[in-house]
Amino acid sequence: MEESAFNALAEAELSRIESALESCGVDIDIELKPGGILEIEFDNGSKVIINRHTAAREIWVAAKSGGFHFRPEGGQWIAGRDGAELYAVISRVVGEQAGEKVILSPAA
């Protein structure tokens, strides 16, 4: 995939993630920063960082529970390590750090 095509795809996905998080009902601060970085901050001061990694053509998620890398595959973003879907992982890590159940979907 060309770099420009990947960047456009990743930026659109980061925007969808931001929208899904804003409507999930959890009290979090969300900031989309330049360069394809989405920062989620919780009341306890912890953060989840979601960013595009252009060189690897992946979206990366960094959370207290670890780091996760996702590639576009069949219309979804799938983790190379275990086949997990991006929104399932974000739901889990945001829920863990917020201390409440979170369910996100791309259509949210």
Q: Exposed e or buried b for every residue in 8-25, given b needs 16+ CB within 10 A?
A: ebbeebbebbbebbeebe
Confidence of residue 15 (pLDDT cuts 50, 70, 90): very high
User: Residue 61 is encoded by which pair of tokens?
Assistant: 């998620």
Contact 59, 12 (CB under 8 A): no
Q: In this structure, is residue 12 part of a structural domain?
A: yes
Q: In this structure, is residue 104 part of a structural domain?
A: no
Residue 60, exposed/middle/buried by CB under 10 A (0-12, 13-18, 19+)?
middle
pTM: 0.93
* pLDDT computed for residue 29 by the predictor: 95
Q: In this structure, is residue 38 part of a structural domain?
A: yes
How many structural domains compose the chain? 1
Q: In this structure, is residue 23 part of a structural domain?
A: yes
Please identify which residue in the block is written with the tokens 């829920």.
95
- Amino acid at position 11, single letter: E
Whether the per-residue pLDDT at 106 is higher than 80: the answer is: no
Q: In this structure, is residue 103 part of a structural domain?
A: no
- Alpha-helix residue ranges (DSSP H) falling in the chain: 3-22, 86-98
Q: What is the pLDDT of residues 70-92, one digit of tens each?
A: 999 999 999 999 999 999 999 99
Residue 91 belongs to domain with CATH number: 3.30.920.10
